[in-house]
Structure 1
Amino acid sequence: MMTQQSEAWKEKVVYQIFPRSFQDSNGDGNGDIPGIISRLDYIKSIGVDTIWLSPVYESPRVDQGYDITNHREIDPMMGTMEDWERLLEEVHGRGMDLWMDLVLNHTSDEHRWFKRARSSKDNPYRDYYIWRPGEKDGEPPNNWTSYLGGSAWTYDEASGEYYLHLYNKKQPDLNWDNPKVREEIQKMVRYWLDKGVNGFRLDAINVVSKDSELPDTNESKLEGSGYKHFKNGPNVHKYLRELNEKGFSHKEGTVTVGEASMVSMEDVSRYTDPERKELNMIFMMESPSIGTDPDDSFKTREWTLPELKEIVTRWEKELVDRGWFGLFASNHDHARMVSHFGDDGKYWAESAKMLATLVHTLWGTPFIYQGEEIGMTDYPFESIDQLDDQMARHYYDFRTQNGEDPQEVERRVLAGTRDHARTPMQWDDSEHAGFTTGKPWMPVHPNYREINVHAQEQHEHSILNYYRKLIAMRREHADVIVHGEYVPLLEEHEQVFAYIRRNETSQGLVLLNFSDQKAEFELPEDVGVCLESAYRMLGNYPPHTEGSGEEASGNDSAGDDVPRVLRPYEAIIFGGLKPAQKG
């Protein structure tokens, strides 16, 4: 089936690079743009067609580049503008696209706009940010808290007013209600599009519009309280349509994906409905956060597979013909996928492949985070002093200062820190995993001698080669996997995640065991398909274990021999399913 040109972007597979941890070229211990260029052939070999680059702009790096001082210049740590232009040329020369990260809710407090804004109340740049006088008793303008804990307001002695920052006090929020701010952002978008960028990832985009009354909140949540007054705010859709019209539409074919937490299906539809002309897609952030306490990002909670299936099915079913979304299981803000959702010990390879199978066979655009494709795992941090993550460090200080047990808080922080995703890429078994010839800015995981790209290139059945097969399969069968219908099965099963992908002429079945135990299951009689003609397309185990003494799974070939059994963390994709005969 031919894909309509207007929907060709939906077939992309995106590879996210966190530049500081990807590849160092000059021995200073920090990844950089020339280092990325040296690894482009590897990225291309995975089968992806798009690279998303986390921020490389000028920044004091309080928040690893998400605190920007100049949106039009490259941070010297990352290289030069000439390096970036060469990167773009090399990416395009390999038939891939390059997306940049846009951080539009805030800037660094070292940005020239903010320096001018705080110089006087009469400065034209004052209204580029959100300032308010304090209450009569010296309290902040309202009781909102930042995502780092503590007040979302910082007092500026020179002017006698407070400025708003939903994140670090060194990341003041921009005032999107000021048309001049929006014009500056639109010009900046056009600047990068004129340089040849193909798309953008928009950081925290659904918090840019605040309730102008800035009312107090009654929420008990300690981090980010006040969210009802700034999440999916009053003018966010108006402002995004304007940004699309005067920014993204400047270049035909520009693709945009928004990071937006705490969104309903109606919200996602509004952001991504093609008729509304706002964004192309929103990340499905609900499923990767399923094991996190919604009121405390460093606390975990028990979750069940039926809960995860409910989230996925809701997004897959309710957004059909209304919107689109990006799929991921790990990124620079989340713990490593295989450590969080799988088993990074006994079933490391099997669970990493199983999780990849889920992401790449659903309706939506899959995103791969660097190192995920070789099964990189969480780092064994032992002390808060080892962490760079500003959110983790602020959380620890805030919680312990408010009387919580330091050992318990440290345990939570070491388990949940974003630094797990930011340790250097593991290329080979040489010193520092081939990442740098100097001292790496973050420690290399001790398991790099076993888990690295070079080792997995040598083995046909490695996690890396499984990703290559998955991506090739998704591309070959895009009419079903990308554009087809999603039909959930076994929705209450505690171990097995099963679903059908189909269109008018083809059907496939995906079976995933989310546990470290064998899982028995029986497909429902009303599934509406005949398995007799089905064939195995891909699996993370061999079809049988002949000679090992282990019982085969019963999935060597398809058929109606149910109940079936899946081995621990087993994933199987069947193709060629035919509609069941009636009567």
Structure 2
Amino acid sequence: MCASRAGTIGDGEQAWWKEAVVYEIYPQSFNDSDGDGIGDIPGIIEKADYLDELGIDVVWLTPPYDSPHADNGYDVRDYRSILDEFGDMDDFERLLEELHDRDIRLILDMVLNHTSDEHEWFQKSRREEDGYEDFYHWVEGDPDEPPNNWTSGFGGSAWAYDEVREAWYLHLFHEKQPDLNWRNPEVRQSMYDVVEFWLEKGIDGFRFDVFNVMSKPEGYPDGDSEGGWVGMEHFSDGPRIHEYIGDLYDEVLSEYDVMTVGEGMDITPRAAKRYCGPSGDGLNMVYHYDHTLLDYGEDGWWDVVDWEVSEIREALTKWVHQLEVTDAWNTVYLGTHDTPRIASRFGNDDRYRYESATMLGTLLLTFPATPFCFQGDEIGMTNYPWSSREEMRDADATNRVEMAFEEGRAEGFSDVQDVVRYRSRDNARTPVQWSDDDMAGFTDGEPWIPINPNSEDINVADQRDRAESVLAYYQELIELRHSEDPLVYGVYDLLAEDHPRVWAFARSLDDETLLVALNWAGRTSRVDLSEAGSVESVLACNYDDPGTDLGSLALRPYEARVYRLE
């Protein structure tokens, strides 16, 4: 831990979770140890040395809990049990030990907003058993008329009629994910107990799934919007959300030295500051979707529109500037299990796959925030060429495709193929490509989801053997971030802010300044950055022989450079 310094972003206080590089693991797609085609916890253990070699500090593990997997684990059936296909609690405890032995921390995805409809709480609630009547949001009424016009994040109404209770229940996501009623103090205490159970296991924190939609208003008023997620204005940052999160911190989290990051739905920097830090509700940080919604048009999921680097630059810079003057800390990510592959979405996954994948990695690992990397991005994995509905697994995408067929929007898969190939979350969930073997070294069996056919060319084994690879570059950048304090705590200054293709910024701490220059284009871009000073040395570049004359930089397609300035 370095000493406190002047001229830092945020509040200037150092913390391990600010200095960490986080690596997200989606267990069913990471590594299969027993040949059943599903990744598992022993499979992660087998790759512990790989994680150590990569240099990451924290593993974020998406839900390993017992679940019917209607939404790939985010529909929890039992918060205190491990899904059989993943292993058991002994396997989990061994994973935690193996990671800790390598100085890698582990945070868990915790789903606070909803459970599976197979959870015992819901089964008791639908039968109106004593003490569980109000564990979920129930509304009696006409079985043909939902209580309001709210829509699900997966499309269609946010309400489902239950024939057992003869009432409607709320599900902001999949129909098999009923929302918990946090107005009920018994619900709150039950979830606090779950959080404490895992902290006592020795984990190092949580990523709280869609945490800011947990509070719903009384009466469930109709939403005003006609498109998008109808009702969002009522349940995003709902009426009692700060009470719920503040109490969770006071009752449980405050007793542990842990990382806590909340997934904010439709969240703004101003709202985020109220959740974070000691002057907020106690979370360390939140993350947002501003930059990942830029390619959505008026027709939402179905409407893929072009984006400009200036839009991404503005979206992410806005968060830096609005958080840096407070005690709130920032996060940065480009891809997660919920997004397409970053090389395909923000880069060029064909002619300039190496260059664009490493350029994106440079942004991720030099930006003023805790960086979150997703499995496979460190080798430049790409989107999958989906060709049929049968190949797909993602509840969000399959729901939308089936609705398109029912509504006559599409007659066959070819009518939706382009959007699915671009948008589907399944793109991130194809197995990690470990080798050029038939099953990419992921499994000896039949994989639960197809393996990308480009695994022969894009895989860990190949890149481990080459000095110039996306993997080698990520390792270099992670090491650089660990060794250069300005990349963690330095002030962020945007340069050449009107340039249409180049994103350049300085990171300054005391008398040290590093300069990052990124060309987000498939052609050479020229830029004058002489206002920043003069180059002392080149710290990283994804091309050979980078120039050092800041007054006349010619950045090659998707070139990334990191300089130390005099």
Same fold (TM over 0.5): yes
Counterpart AA for 1:492:
D
Name which of structure 1's ranges 407-416 and 450-459 shifts more when overlaid on structure 2. Answer: 407-416
Partner of 1:467: 474
CA contact (8 A) 2:140 2:167 kept: yes
Inter-partner Cα distance in structure 1 for 2:311 and 2:285? 23
Inter-partner Cα distance in structure 1 for 2:49 and 2:499? 42
CA contact (8 A) 2:159 2:169 kept: yes
Normalised by the length of structure 1, the TM-score is 0.93
Question: Does the alignment pair 1:45 with 2:92?
Answer: no
Question: Does the alignment pair 1:429 with 2:418?
Answer: no
Inter-partner Cα distance in structure 1 for 2:75 and 2:165? 23
Partner of 1:547: none
CA contact (8 A) 1:396 1:410 kept: no
CA contact (8 A) 2:267 2:288 kept: no
Name which of structure 1's ranges 339-348 and 157-166 shifts more when overlaid on structure 2. Answer: 157-166
Counterpart AA for 1:571:
A
Partner of 2:20: 12
CA contact (8 A) 1:13 1:366 kept: yes
Inter-partner Cα distance in structure 2 for 1:359 and 1:295? 29
Name which of structure 1's ranges 198-207 and 155-164 shifts more when overlaid on structure 2. Answer: 155-164
Question: Does the alignment pair 1:148 with 2:151?
Answer: no
CA contact (8 A) 1:53 1:101 kept: yes
The CA deviation string for residues 374-433 of structure 1, in whole angstroms up to 9 with x for no partner, is 001111111122101111111112233233234433432232111111111111112201
Partner of 1:546: none
1:563 Cα offset (Å) = 2.6
The CA deviation string for residues 290-334 of structure 1, in whole angstroms up to 9 with x for no partner, is 222375134211211111111121111110042112211111111
Inter-partner Cα distance in structure 2 for 1:419 and 1:412? 12
Partner of 1:82: 90
Partner of 2:374: 369
1:497 Cα offset (Å) = 0.6
1:6 Cα offset (Å) = 4.9
Work out which of the residue numbers 458, 473, 493 in structure 1 matches 2:499: 493
Inter-partner Cα distance in structure 1 for 2:374 and 2:3? 27
Q: Relative to 1, partners in 2 of residues 1:3 and 1:54: Cα closer, same or farther, differing over 3 Å?
A: farther
Q: Relative to 1, partners in 2 of residues 1:259 and 1:457: Cα closer, same or farther, differing over 3 Å?
A: same
Question: Does the alignment pair 1:219 with 2:225?
Answer: yes
CA contact (8 A) 2:273 2:280 kept: no
Query: CA RMSD, aligned part only?
Result: 1.6
Inter-partner Cα distance in structure 2 for 1:95 and 1:153? 45
CA contact (8 A) 2:384 2:421 kept: no
1:521-540 to 2 correspondences below 5 Å: 521-523=527-529, 527=531, 529-531=532-534, 533-540=535-542
Normalised by the length of structure 2, the TM-score is 0.95
Work out which of the residue numbers 323, 326, 329 in structure 1 matches 2:331: 326
1:138 Cα offset (Å) = 4.1
CA contact (8 A) 1:257 1:280 kept: yes
Question: Does the alignment pair 1:170 with 2:176?
Answer: yes
Q: Relative to 1, partners in 2 of residues 1:169 and 1:184: Cα closer, same or farther, differing over 3 Å?
A: same
Counterpart AA for 1:272:
C
1:159 Cα offset (Å) = 2.3
1:474 Cα offset (Å) = 0.6
Inter-partner Cα distance in structure 1 for 2:298 and 2:259? 30
Counterpart AA for 2:537:
Y
Name which of structure 1's ranges 500-509 and 393-402 shifts more when overlaid on structure 2. Answer: 393-402
Work out which of the residue numbers 550, 554, 569 in structure 1 matches 2:558: 569
Partner of 2:197: 191
Counterpart AA for 2:549:
G
1:289 Cα offset (Å) = 3.0
CA contact (8 A) 1:384 1:410 kept: no
Inter-partner Cα distance in structure 2 for 1:261 and 1:356? 25
Query: Gaps spanning 5+ residues in structure 2: where?
Result: 5-12
Work out which of the residue numbers 398, 417, 423 in structure 1 matches 2:424: 417
Counterpart AA for 2:403:
F
CA contact (8 A) 1:484 1:503 kept: yes
Inter-partner Cα distance in structure 1 for 2:557 and 2:232? 40
Partner of 2:549: 559
1:55 Cα offset (Å) = 0.7
Inter-partner Cα distance in structure 2 for 1:3 and 1:238? 34
What SS does structure 1 have at the residue aligned with 2:439? helix
Partner of 2:361: 356
Work out which of the residue numbers 32, 36, 56 in structure 1 matches 2:40: 32
Counterpart AA for 1:286:
D
Inter-partner Cα distance in structure 1 for 2:536 and 2:217? 55
CA contact (8 A) 2:112 2:208 kept: yes
What SS does structure 1 have at the residue aligned with 2:363? helix
Partner of 1:404: 409
Name which of structure 1's ranges 297-306 and 146-155 shifts more when overlaid on structure 2. Answer: 297-306
Partner of 2:345: 340
Identity of aligned residues (%): 41
Greater relative contact order, per chain length (Cα 8 Å cut-off, separation 6+) = 2
Inter-partner Cα distance in structure 2 for 1:158 and 1:538? 62
Partner of 1:509: 515
1:263 Cα offset (Å) = 1.1
Name which of structure 1's ranges 275-284 and 17-26 shifts more when overlaid on structure 2. Answer: 275-284
Inter-partner Cα distance in structure 1 for 2:44 and 2:237? 35
Inter-partner Cα distance in structure 2 for 1:19 and 1:559? 46
Partner of 1:203: 209
Partner of 1:311: 315
Partner of 1:160: 166
CA contact (8 A) 1:534 1:559 kept: no
Inter-partner Cα distance in structure 1 for 2:195 and 2:140? 33
Name which of structure 1's ranges 335-344 and 277-286 shifts more when overlaid on structure 2. Answer: 277-286
Partner of 2:9: none
1:283 Cα offset (Å) = 1.4
What SS does structure 2 have at the residue aligned with 1:572? strand
Partner of 2:483: 476
Counterpart AA for 1:102:
M
CA contact (8 A) 1:328 1:359 kept: yes
1:438 Cα offset (Å) = 0.9
Q: Relative to 1, partners in 2 of residues 1:75 and 1:132: Cα closer, same or farther, differing over 3 Å?
A: same
1:50 Cα offset (Å) = 0.7
Inter-partner Cα distance in structure 1 for 2:390 and 2:3? 52
Partner of 2:283: 279
1:489 Cα offset (Å) = 1.0
Counterpart AA for 2:252:
G
CA contact (8 A) 1:496 1:519 kept: yes
1:477 Cα offset (Å) = 0.6
Counterpart AA for 1:243:
L
Counterpart AA for 2:133:
R
1:149 Cα offset (Å) = 1.7
Aligned residues: 555
1:534 Cα offset (Å) = 2.3
Counterpart AA for 1:530:
G
